[in-house]
Structure 1
């Protein structure tokens, strides 16, 4: 049984689902930039655009700055490494999406990699996460994701020209 504080909020589920759709668009757009330029160009373009958008948002929110930051602790220094992994992710997906893996195969393997890493992070308490013993359900979910990825990659190319 879960308490009311632990129940899933439908809006959170919808936000997570929407994030998956936005991730798919991002990988596609970055793949197109990579096709016409290269992987490094697609990463610079994506992060440059994001930097400009963030700067505009920060400028709009600057007046509310004390209210936003009040009572929040500073992020650990390692948290800023997300930009490095983001840049690498854009370059790798921009390259992979323009191979026979295509968009679906790239995302399927990306999802499998995310699940493997997140299970490892849970198991060993990486990055300050609470340690969690992995269950048979976790192994089953991982097996289904890997099997689905294999189906997409091995049998999903039938319609490719």
Structure 2
């Protein structure tokens, strides 16, 4: 379990770099162009990864299942684009710490709502008093981080 914590921690650490890099690129282009470049490069890396994985494992592509998937599950790409674009715009205003602490607080609050109602097929986890206190502390903490 500890290994997965450190893996997630590392992902979070490098995730802090992405919006700053995209905002830097936006200074030369625009937020929309920078976000598009980010997604094009990311898409290229993922497509290459799928091809390499397929060649190494010989696992067949199962494209026939794409029509059977609920449309809501394709919305993740739209959300990703909105996140990258908005973070690219907001970094120059709030800074990396402000943007990421706000985003993570938003993620954790939405995660508590998803857990409470079992949305999108997630297992239900009751929103109890301890979790509510945690949310309040998150809101206090993010306000301390973005305070200038």
TM-score, with structure 2 as normaliser? 0.87
RMSD of aligned Cα (Å): 2.1
The match for 1:3 is none
Total equivalences in the alignment: 144
The match for 1:5 is none
Q: Kindly state the Cα deviation for residue 67 of structure 1 after the two structures are TM-superposed.
A: 7.1
Confirm whether residue 78 of structure 1 aligns to residue 72 of structure 2.
yes
* Contact in 2 for aligned 1:96/1:106 (Cα 8 Å): yes
1:14-33 counterparts in 2 under 5 A?
A: 14-33=6-25
* Contact in 1 for aligned 2:116/2:124 (Cα 8 Å): yes
The match for 1:91 is 85
The match for 2:54 is 62
In 2, Cα distance between the equivalents of 1:66 and 1:125?
Answer: 32
* More displaced 10-residue stretch of structure 1: 10-19 or 130-139: 130-139
The match for 1:118 is 111
* Contact in 2 for aligned 1:104/1:152 (Cα 8 Å): yes
Confirm whether residue 148 of structure 1 aligns to residue 141 of structure 2.
yes
Write the deviation string for residues 6-52 of structure 1: whole angstroms up to 9, x where unpaired. Answer: xxx11100011001111101111111122222221121111100111
Q: Kindly state the Cα deviation for residue 108 of structure 1 after the two structures are TM-superposed.
A: 0.9
Q: Kindly state the Cα deviation for residue 68 of structure 1 after the two structures are TM-superposed.
A: 8.8
Deviating beyond 4 angstroms after TM superposition, the runs of 4 or more aligned structure 1 residues are: none
TM-score, with structure 1 as normaliser? 0.81
**Structure 1 or 2: larger helix share?**
2
Structure 2, gaps ≥5 residues long? 63-67
Structure 1, gaps ≥5 residues long? 1-8
In 2, Cα distance between the equivalents of 1:19 and 1:107?
Answer: 13
* Contact in 2 for aligned 1:43/1:87 (Cα 8 Å): yes
